[in-house]
């Protein structure tokens, strides 16, 4: 069956938590090394939903195999921007799903009037950096040795997308 990209719904919360935890436990792509408690994650997702923030999942049948969200900034003077987060299970990478998720989220962000999308990516995550660059994200900074996990340093790259 084909993997579909669909708006996040409450029925996806459990599967999202499982997917998030699996990606976290890779200890390579996200700052967390395990997902926060399920209730905390559900509270976060419900808050994004209530505020109309773009949220999508990649579904293989009904299994959540990836996600993307844009957390719209609520601070005065910054409400034109949002912070992007995304992830895919390893078996689903390299199949165009990241691009499809990103396109869906950017289209939704434009519809709600956002002007800027920010993200952080580990310098070691070359495929993600290439995905973001192809989508039009630009490099805005680099934090050398921002993370040292298991004695392995990694830089963090700050990137942003600007709607014209």
Residues 6-47: tens digit of each pLDDT: 999 999 999 999 999 999 999 999 999 999 999 999 999 999
What's the pLDDT score for residue 164? 81
Could you report how far apart the first and last alpha carbons of the chain are, in Å?
Answer: 37
**Strands of 81-88's sheet, edge to edge?**
3-7, 55-60, 63-72, 81-88, 116-122, 152-162, 138-149
* pLDDT, tens only, 76-99: 999 999 999 999 999 999 999 999
Domain ranges of the chain: 3-162
Q: How confident is the model at residue 1 (pLDDT cuts 50, 70, 90)?
A: low
Q: How confident is the model at residue 157 (pLDDT cuts 50, 70, 90)?
A: very high
Residue 93 structure tokens = 């990478």
Find all residues with CB under 8 Å of 120, minimum gap 6, and list them. Answer: 156, 157, 158, 159
**Class in CATH terms, 3-162:** alpha beta
């Amino acid at each position: 069956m084909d993997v579909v990209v669909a708006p996040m719904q409450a029925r996806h919360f459990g599967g999202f938590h499982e997917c998030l935890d699996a990606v976290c436990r890779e200890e390579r792509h996200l700052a967390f090394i395990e997902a926060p408690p399920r209730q905390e994650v559900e509270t976060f997702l419900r808050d994004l939903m209530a505020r109309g923030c773009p949220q999508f999942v990649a579904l293989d049948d009904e299994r959540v195999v990836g996600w993307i969200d844009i957390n719209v900034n609520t601070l005065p003077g910054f409400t034109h921007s949002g912070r992007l987060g995304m992830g895919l299970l390893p078996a689903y990478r390299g199949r165009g799903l990241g691009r499809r998720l990103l396109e869906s989220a950017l289209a939704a962000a434009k519809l709600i009037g956002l002007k800027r999308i920010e993200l952080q990516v580990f310098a070691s995550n070359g495929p993600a950096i290439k995905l973001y660059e192809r989508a039009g994200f630009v490099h805005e900074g680099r934090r050398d040795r921002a993370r040292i996990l298991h004695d392995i340093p990694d830089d963090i790259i700050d990137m942003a997308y600007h709607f014209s």
